[in-house]
Copies of this chain bind each other. A is one copy, B any other.
């Protein structure tokens, strides 16, 4: 359905060929959408964007292609606790960044903290672990929700220490 393939999509094609897997239109279409956005996309969003582009691709194929993209390490899978996964490509952006997530509207912002990698390694080593990767998510209110006057109430026990 698309006429010119982006370099990133071609890169995915190379991965597929390396693995002896067919490079199909559907796989290229899904990759095109994922590499064409800098957002954290849900499967429904990807399906919608494909449909807008004129491609009608089944959810099963989208899931299967995302699995390949994740395996190729070109795309990262995230779970921000919404009950479904989101996908983000790893090209032309900071590698190893972390996320700020708005508890009100779900907006995701990215940040990079240079000490974090060292912290990960130190903490893991202290516990005898061999560190591979980390995931830091900071939850709170994004600027626009704050501006809109949203507040997050707590509730819960007022005095958790009174045990008698």
Residues of B within 8 A of A135 (CB): 135-137, 139
Residues of B within 8 A of A72 (CB): 156-157
Residues of B within 8 A of A136 (CB): 134-137
A81 to B137, CA, bound (A): 14
* 8 Å CB contact of A100 from B15, B18, B124, B164: B124
> Who on chain B is nearest to A109 by CB?
B127
Count the copies: 2
Shortest beta-carbon distance from A113 to chain B in Å? 6
Is the Cβ of A73 less than 8 Å from the Cβ of B156?
Answer: yes
Residue-wise, chain A 40-77 has the 8 Å CB interface mask toward B (1 for contact) of 00000000000000000000000000000001111000
A39 at the interface (CB under 8 A from B): no
- A73 and B163 in contact, given A129-B138, A131-B138 (Cβ under 8 angstroms): no
> Who on chain B is nearest to A85 by CB?
B81
- A74 and B132 in contact, given A113-B119, A123-B111 (Cβ under 8 angstroms): no
A25 at the interface (CB under 8 A from B): no
Is the Cβ of A138 less than 8 Å from the Cβ of B124?
Answer: yes
